[in-house]
Structure 1
Amino acid sequence: MSGDILIRADGLSVGFQIGKGMFNKQILKAVDGVTVEIEKGSFFGLVGESGSGKTTLGRALLKAVPITGGHARYDDGEVQYDLAELGGTELKDYRKRAQLIFQDPYAALSPRMTVRDIIAEPLEVMGLTSSRAETDEKVREIAAKCRLNLEHLRRFPHAFSGGQRQRISIARALVSDPKFVVADESVAALDVSIQADVLNLLKELQRDLGLTFMFISHDLSVVAHTCDHVAVMYLGRLVETAPTRTLFNAPKHPYTKALFSAIPSLDPDDRGKTQKLEGEIPSPTNQPSGCKFHTRCPHAVDRCKVEEPSLQHAEAEGHEVACHRWQELFEPA
């Protein structure tokens, strides 16, 4: 990737202690040694199966869960923060600069608050405005950018559809003028036609406000339409990362190939060409040795069972893959 880097993670890990008692304690490795760079102004996609650690990685970069290993650095040109050590007044400032758009627009909004109060809440909690008039002005400004009108601000969430509720959630996340936004499955609960409208709105806001997005999704067709760069995650680790067009045209990792082959096709000639994933993703508390994917990979050899591959550069710029055999399996003869 080229250009200025907003978020840089190096060997980032997030672990949770589970179990009780002296002998029953276990560490669940939700994120395990992730190294990634997110460029300023980009739409960075993160994909993988449920349980792969996508949401935990996004929350770690928001400092919403503790970082237990490695480093992550935020640098927007005005301030620089080491996210692993962030706390106190610096953490309060980072909350203004990094925000989250939740997945479920029905559960994310308080039914007892008007839309105006929901959007205004971050301004009031963070002390970003000095008067109600100033707060109302900022609320109206961001509401208009999110395609909400003045009449909407006086209503309660129950009066809105799913797409309208998600626009309210987006307005609340952006009212503090953040630089970095994590959108966690933010269109998964919406109808397909509404998804397109919300995705186009996010792209428009990114362009107009100079935002940097981390877009977490399991829907590869949505990622292809929206993102500039995509990282593929499996069991807490990145297995492949590349510019979107490069990744979709020439995936190098068997897991990525399997995910892409599962995308429905209208071409009858494509039937029977899918690469099925056998079994389920292993438990994070009992991870396989070597390559984490070897228990489900049709190309695994003995080396894969004992030696964990690291991300290595492929031929295309910005394309990295963690697989021992990618060159012999997917490179043209």
Structure 2
Amino acid sequence: MTDPLIRARNLSVGFRIGGGLFGKSILKAVDKVDLDIEKGAFFGIVGESGSGKTTLGRALLKAVPITGGEASYTDDEVDYDLTTLDGAELKDYRKRAQLIFQDPYAALSPRMTVRDIIAEPLEVMKLTQNRRDTDARVREIAAKCRLNLEHLRRFPHAFSGGQRQRISIARALVSGPKFIVADESVAALDVSIQADVLNLLKELQRDLGITFMFISHDLSVVAHTCDHVAVMYLGRLVETAPTRKIFAAPRHPYTRALFSAIPSLDPDSNDRAQKLEGEIPSPTNQPTGCKFHTRCPHVIDRCRKEEPALEQPGDGHEVACHRWRELMESMPA
């Protein structure tokens, strides 16, 4: 069995905040995450705002410091320890791991042409020998992202949101990465444009063998695009499984509540969204025991005292809940 492209064990990211009379506190944005992303996968990360999805993606890109645990990147050529990566190895990793930003309007410089935007990583990383090679690579990637030569001469203000996002995708692809974090990359687009961009990402994954980590709060998008899903809550993974399996039979109460909010296309459906009481707790003052116990309708005393580990029953479906077995037996599928 080959090694996963991305592997994390007990991965944590914390930030010191505050000060003054009461001193500084630690914000635990990512807390003891175990994760494997296989080569060529389209791996989805879902959860509410503030659950740590973006910070996890940036940690795996080495864009924020990793404060605890282990993380590694392994492809056919290199094996990098992301916790100690720096210098020449970090520069090389920047070619192999890229980010697609959420906002296609803020992500592109209004003073640069599309050609210059896409070419910038090549020039900064010194991946081409001269302008002719740079232009050839830019045209190649632009064509894969459905941009023509006329587009390359224009400035970003001349394009729609969907076209701008294709420019952002082309810029991320131009260095030839093998791992891309797409952070809410279709959230700012209309539904019809979302479908076009998602189909483009799937096409690129298939043709170029790229591994995607797709961060989203839109569960219908994740169901359409991803082949594996991990659910985050307050910096922890609470459930992870292949997409079909987790959507067919979610095991964690938080996952069930999220999935119940997906609108049904069946007009005769009597399913109702499971309302979660209260707000997600502050990352600086996390509850003891299970992080979800303050909002869980199935909480017992053990949940308040003992934090559940991510259990692996052996069927590829992992869940962090003390009561998931009895809840699966008592709750309708």
**1:313-328 equivalences in 2 (<5 Å):** 313-314=312-313, 317-328=315-326
- 1:274 and 1:165 mapped to 2: Cα distance? 35
Q: Give the aligned partner of residue 182 of structure 2.
A: 183
**Aligned-residue offset at 1:265:** 1.3
Q: Which amino acid aligns with 1:58?
A: G
Aligned-residue identity in percent: 82
* Equivalent residue for 1:331, pick from 326, 329, 332: 329
Q: Deviations over 1:30-73 (max 9, x none)?
A: 00000000000000000000000000000000000000000001
Q: Which amino acid aligns with 2:321?
A: C
**Aligned-residue offset at 1:267:** 2.4
Q: Give the aligned partner of residue 264 of structure 1.
A: 263
Q: Give the aligned partner of residue 27 of structure 2.
A: 28
Give the structure-1-normalised TM-score.
0.97
**1:292-331 equivalences in 2 (<5 Å):** 292-314=291-313, 317-331=315-329
2:13–2:28 CA contact under 8 A, matched in 1 = yes
**Aligned-residue offset at 1:332:** 6.9
Q: Secondary structure at the match of 1:14?
A: strand
Q: Deviations over 1:272-317 (max 9, x none)?
A: 53211111111000101000000000000000001000011246x2
Q: Which amino acid aligns with 2:316?
A: G
Q: Give the aligned partner of residue 216 of structure 2.
A: 217
Q: Give the aligned partner of residue 51 of structure 1.
A: 50
The alignment's C-alpha RMSD in Å is 1.3
Q: Which amino acid aligns with 2:30?
A: V
Structure 2: any 5+ residue segments left out of the alignment?
none
- 1:97 and 1:168 mapped to 2: Cα distance? 19
- 1:80 and 1:289 mapped to 2: Cα distance? 37
Q: Give the aligned partner of residue 94 of structure 1.
A: 93
- 1:186 and 1:39 mapped to 2: Cα distance? 21
2:261–2:272 CA contact under 8 A, matched in 1 = no
**Aligned-residue offset at 1:22:** 7.3
Q: Secondary structure at the match of 1:270?
A: coil
Q: Deviations over 1:78-116 (max 9, x none)?
A: 001000100111100000000000000000000000000
- 2:90 and 2:78 mapped to 1: Cα distance? 12
- 2:175 and 2:265 mapped to 1: Cα distance? 43
- 1:266 and 1:212 mapped to 2: Cα distance? 31
In the alignment of these two chains, the number of paired residues is 331
Q: Secondary structure at the match of 1:233?
A: strand
**1:77-92 equivalences in 2 (<5 Å):** 77-92=76-91
**Aligned-residue offset at 1:188:** 0.2
2:11–2:69 CA contact under 8 A, matched in 1 = yes
Q: Give the aligned partner of residue 73 of structure 2.
A: 74
Q: Which amino acid aligns with 2:13?
A: V
